[in-house]
Each structure stands twice: as C-alpha cells, then as structure tokens.
Chain A
Amino acid sequence: MPIWDFIHTYGGQILGGTLVTCAQFLLASAVAVTVAMVAGLGKLSRNLAVRGAASVYIEIFRGTSLLVQLYWIFFVLPLFGITLEKFWAGFLSVGLNVGAYGAELVRGAIRSVPRGQWEAAYALSMSPARRMRRIILPQAVQLMLPPWGNLLIELLKGTALVSLISVADLMFQAKQINASTFLSAQSFGIALIVYYVLARAIVTPFMRWLERVMARRLGRA
C-alpha cells in the first residue's frame, strides 16, 4: 500500500491516538510537577517524618520501573479498594514516576541557590515560607528549567507505556493498525515520527520559551 493511501486510510486513527497521547502528556506533566514540588521541598524539610516520606516515595519510584508501577497501580491497587479507570491509572503512574525524578531536580536546584541569598533573606527577617516563595524558589525554578526540559521528553516517551493497559493512545493505535495490516514499517514508523515531532517541535521549543520568560522575569536576559 502506498504511503499516501496508508495515511488516508489510517490518518484519523493515528490523529485520535495522538490526541490521547497529548492529553496523557498534559495530565501526567501536571501530576509530575505537583508531586515533584511537594516531594522536593519535603526532602529539604526539617521534620524527619516529612523527609522520610518524601525519601521513600522518591526511592520507590526511582528504584523500580515505570511499567512495574503502571501494572501495580492498575492491577493491584483495586485489591486495596482503589479502582482507577485505565486512563487515570495511565497518567497518574507516568506522573508519579517522573515526579520522583523531578523531586531530585527541585531539591538540587533549591540547594544550588547561593548561600548568600538565604542569608540576605534571613537578615531581612523574612519568615521561612516567605523566604522560600519570594527569594529562593524564583531563582531555583530558573536553575531547574533546562533539566526539566529533558525530563518532560522522558515523560512524553513514558506515556507510550499506557498503551499496555489499553489506553487508546498513539502507541496503542500503531499496534492496532500493525495487527490488522502487518504494515509494521508504516504504522510504527509514522508513530515514531509523530513522537519525534511532538518532542522536538512542541515540548522542547515550549521549554526554551519558558526559560526565556523566566530569565526575563529575573532580569537576566
């Protein structure tokens, strides 16, 4: 089948899958950023229990595979009475997994803010919360944006695994088309290209733009 006929026939299916992938990506990103902030700050907390909880979360999710986490959340959590619809299980797993890596970025960036900034804020007798919010975090965010750019690419790639619990994303549609046509080069090849375009033409430029915006806000551009 010529490639144009292939696209004509299966383009809609691929587009539908791409939209599901985008939705999974956006929701998982929101989860990842949120838990990364919470766990990253938690790991810097003076409270031993908070620090311990953050460490356990980070080590478990970084120490095992995303696929294991996905299956566990989808197949095992229901045994504890928590049944998640597959779409939810998908982006929650991906988000929690990437969030654990993101937590380390948050922690590292906060600790990279020069000591003098902490001391200056202290000398102005700012409360710890205000110091973090007004002085430290804005500088830390700028430091951690470039590695977050890479992490979000990893997250996008991670969403492909939700196809294994039958979320109808791009990967899932590619498999379906392959199974019914045996045109593997076309179906998987097009999916590879779509992922590449999403990563290089949308995610990376967006993060670059965000870096510039943040730099401007800090008066560094």
Chain B
Amino acid sequence: MTFDWNWDFTWEILPRLLAATVNTLLAAGIGYAIALVLGLVLALAQRTPSKAVTLVVRESIEFIRSTPLVLQIFFVFYVGPQFGIRLPPWVSGMIAIGLHYSAYLSEVYRAGIDAVPRGQWEACRAINMSTRDTYLRIIIPQALPPSVAGMGNYLVGIFKDTPMLSVIGVTELMHAANAIGSESYRFLEPYTLVGVIFLAISLPTAGAVRLFEGWVRRRLGL
C-alpha cells in the first residue's frame, strides 16, 4: 500500500487550491445569475398566447435538460471558432453552464407559477390590474417561496458542476488540482482536498438554503 499523506505538500498546495476556489465560486455565481434571469425568460415565454413559441421553448428546454453539460461546454467552446467566432474559455463556459441551468430553473419557476391558485389571477382581474402588475406584484411573489428550495438546490448543483469547466481550460479548482497532479505526480492530496473543499462549501450552503426558504415564507406571511 502506497498510502502516505504528505502534510508538507498539503500546506504547500492549499493556498493555490484556495485561490482557485475563488474562481470556482465566481464561475458558479456568474453562471447562476445568468440562469436565474434566463430561466425566468424561458418560463414566461411558455405563457405567451402563441402555441408555436410555447412548443419551441418547451422542446429546447427538454433538449438542454437531456444532454450532458460537459458536451454542451465543448460544443459552445469549439463551434464558435469553426465559424470564425473565438470565445475565451470563461465566456463559453458561462454561456454553457448558464444556459444549462436556465432550463432547470425555468421548470422551477413554471411549477411555482402553476401552483398559484386560479383565484389569485381572478382577483387581479376583479381589481382591474394590468398583466405586468399581476405578475410582478401578485403572482411572482407567491410563486417564489415554493421555488426557493428548487432554486437553492440548483445553486448547489451549479457549484458542483463547475469542475466540468476545467475541460476547456477555465482555471477553477479542478483545473488547479489537475495541474498540481501533472506537475508533482501526486494525486492523493490535490484530489482529496478538492473533495473536502467542495463538501465544506456545499453542505453549509444546502443548510443555509433551507433556513432561507423558511425565512422567505415567514417574511411573506405565508
């Protein structure tokens, strides 16, 4: 058995890994912000009167959800140059991961909106509210609390999927661990540390999401 944990090596590489963790968090944050906004657009696009728009949006969401993110990352990164558009790894990575998760978030929003009782829409009509105000002031505030759990899960999910960005050279945590591994031929410490860092961030985040969900409910008097 060649198991020998080297603590000196651990302390040597830890700063480098923690620095890369900042990039991981940045990637997750940017990707999530894109997904939050784009997901809402996709959810609302399915509520337009046009059947054709609904159908195209629905099928696109299904397509994005049924195909691997890592393949989508490659696709976005490599297809641009074929047509003369060269996107930096960060940009293609954020497009791919943001688009991927927007498909999931749109489903969360959609379920939340569908869960708002029909009487709420009717009450808005009875006080003659515009469609825009109906969404902004009545429907979305009620659709959000039940969506918070799903939104939180995908925040943790997007964070855990950021290592896939390493395949096109985004310099996040996994990329740093791979680099350390190929320089030193030691894999035990970098890969184990990456796992520990992920656990140390995702477990408390999942807990915080649950607390936040309760807070939102109370805050809105539900």
Contacts and interface: CB of A to CB of B under 8 A. Distances in A.
A184 B161 contact: no
| Interface of chain B, main secondary structure | helix
Given A81-B1, A178-B74, A188-B71, A68 B187 contact: no
Interface in B56-106: 62-63, 65-72, 74-75, 78-79, 81-83
Contacts of B166: 67
A216 B137 CA distance: 45
Contacts of B7: none
Contacts of A221: none
Interface stretch (B44-52, B124-132, B190-198, B211-219): B190-198
Interface string A132-164: 000000000000000000000100111111011
Interface in B162-213: 162-164, 166-167, 174, 177, 181, 187-188, 191-192, 194-195, 198-199, 202-203, 206
A81 B71 CA distance: 33
A175 B167 CA distance: 11
Interface string A41-76: 000000000000000000110111111110110011
Interface of A: 59-60, 62-69, 71-72, 75-76, 79-81, 153, 156-161, 163-164, 171, 174-175, 178, 182-185, 188-189, 191-192, 195-196, 199-200
Interface of B: 1-3, 62-63, 65-72, 74-75, 78-79, 81-83, 160-164, 166-167, 174, 177, 181, 187-188, 191-192, 194-195, 198-199, 202-203, 206
